[in-house]
Amino acid sequence: MTEDIIVKTTARLMTPFIQMFGLYIILHGHLTPGGGFQGGAVIGASMILLAVVYGLEEGEKRMSHDLSTVLESSTIVYVLIGFIGIAAGVNFLASGAAGIPLGRPGDLLSGGMILALNIVIGFKVASTGKTLFYTLAKEDEG
């Protein structure tokens, strides 16, 4: 990676905003265009940007291996949310029927399980995007 001060500074300044934007897309997925996939992809892309500008090792430092293992398996939470339906006596992945409050349409806290599922998907997509790129771009040691 070249020592380009402009690129590095810009990347450092931009990354928090990009990630904030990604988070916004995730959290407002049930109100505005976007959702877990889109926001997760934006956050994943911001991590890829960091890796491209600063090199892979620097990016690796920001996320420990344990954490990314846990995030890889975050789909478990999706299934657990699905079990709420069964626990409530209705079917798998039921939301309104399981008695999860739907809230007032238009509020941030509305939409039953949609918000929670969006967050799970967002983490999942971001971490997978990061894993895919890092694994593909990593130099072979042997």
The span from the CA of 62 to the CA of 22, in Å, is 18
Kindly report the three-state secondary structure assignment for every residue of 2-14.
CCCHHHHHHHHHH
**Going by C-beta distance under 8 Å and a sequence separation of 6 or more, which residues neighbour residue 123?**
40, 71, 74
By rule CB under 8 A, what string of x and - marks binding of each residue 56-85 to other proteins?
----------x--xx-xx-xx-xx--x--x
Q: How many other β-carbons are positioned within 10 Å of the β-carbon of residue 141?
A: 4
For residue 102, give both structure tokens: 């739907």
Kindly report the three-state secondary structure assignment for every residue of 52-64.
HHHCHHHHHHCCC
Binds other proteins (CB under 8 A): choice among 19, 27, 30, 50: 30
Q: How many residues bind other proteins (CB under 8 A)?
A: 66
Residue whose CB is less far from other proteins, 8 or 103: 103
Q: Which of residues 79-118 bind other proteins (CB under 8 A)?
A: 79, 82, 85-87, 89-98, 102-103, 105-106, 110-114, 117-118
Residues of the shown chain interacting with other proteins in the complex, contacts defined by CB under 8 A: 25, 29-38, 41-42, 44-45, 48, 52, 66, 69-70, 72-73, 75-76, 78-79, 82, 85-87, 89-98, 102-103, 105-106, 110-114, 117-118, 120-121, 124-125, 128-129, 131-133, 135-138, 140, 142
